Amino acid sequence: MTCGINTSFSLVFGSIFSFAGDIRNVDDLEELFSQTKFDAVILANPMRYFDNNLVGSLNLYKLMAKHKLVFSSSATVYGQPDKIPCVAMNPYGRTKLFLEEIAQDLHKADQKWRIILLRYFNPVGAHESGMLVEDPRGIPNNLMPYITQVAVGRLPELNVYGHDYPTPDGSAIICLPIRDYIHVMDLADGDVVALEKFLQRNDIGCVAYNLGTGRGTSVLEMVAAFEKATGKKLPIKLCPRRPGDATAVYASTDKAERELGWK
């Protein structure tokens, strides 16, 4: 059995059964692992940073009797890259980087550990059925729900944070941060092929893959694409930079295509 774990508030497992508990509570995890046997564990993308990411994940590491893990990491481990591949710029990215380093140390110390680290870039979109969508309350933290809420009039304008970055944007005046936006269903496919490799191979070790398009896109380019597709003009407000935001974050996905057959 494979389980997915959401560390935000409680432990939630696939369609077979659910277990109410807290990943930060060792007793809850002990009860869960004593009840059933898992083939693999997928650690989902948490939101409570140091408490959930570090404390909860370390508790989970301790109780993974089968020593198998697929860890959904984050592109934030790259920070503002130059020649050094991983230098996180904010607390969230640092927690992900710490956990990747811990995972690597676990494998070095005990070769029985098999670990796949999936570095997600910026997920956008929804399931094609329309039943699974991102529709947050309040002002969204992610770009696409922000754009769509402005488009339907729920929010008055799209705040664009930072317009003085040294990046080409297709505009002679405005220079915006560059991100790699990837459809959420493509990420789901990446999870599936990674898990398939994980279950079929015993010689994985500890390996990381970038799950993205490998291309950078600015906020204004995303807005222009949305406007072209919908015929809806969006009001935009240029705002100051946010601390901890990198100028450009995208990376090669050649390794995922070569070793996982995913693109």
Mean of all residue pLDDT scores within the chain: 76
CA-CA distance, 165 to 171, in Å (whole number)?
Answer: 12
In the predicted model, is pLDDT for residue 116 greater than 50?
A: yes
Q: Which residues are catalytic?
A: 92
140: domain CATH number?
A: 3.40.50.720
Q: Is the pTM of this model over 0.75?
A: no
In a domain, 29, yes or no: no
Confidence of residue 7 (pLDDT cuts 50, 70, 90): very low
Which pLDDT score, from 0 to 100, does residue 93 have?
Answer: 78
In a domain, 194, yes or no: yes
In a domain, 56, yes or no: no
In a domain, 27, yes or no: no
In total, how many domains does the chain have? 1
In a domain, 157, yes or no: yes
In a domain, 54, yes or no: no
In tens, the pLDDT along 32-56 reads: 888 877 777 776 554 455 666 667 7
Range of the domain at 203: 67-260
Which pLDDT score, from 0 to 100, does residue 68 have?
Answer: 59
Q: Which amino acid is present at 247?
A: T
What the block records as the tokens of 184 is: 């959420």
In a domain, 83, yes or no: yes
Question: From its phi and psi, is residue 125 left (phi > 0), alpha (psi between -120 and 50) or beta?
Answer: left
In a domain, 41, yes or no: no
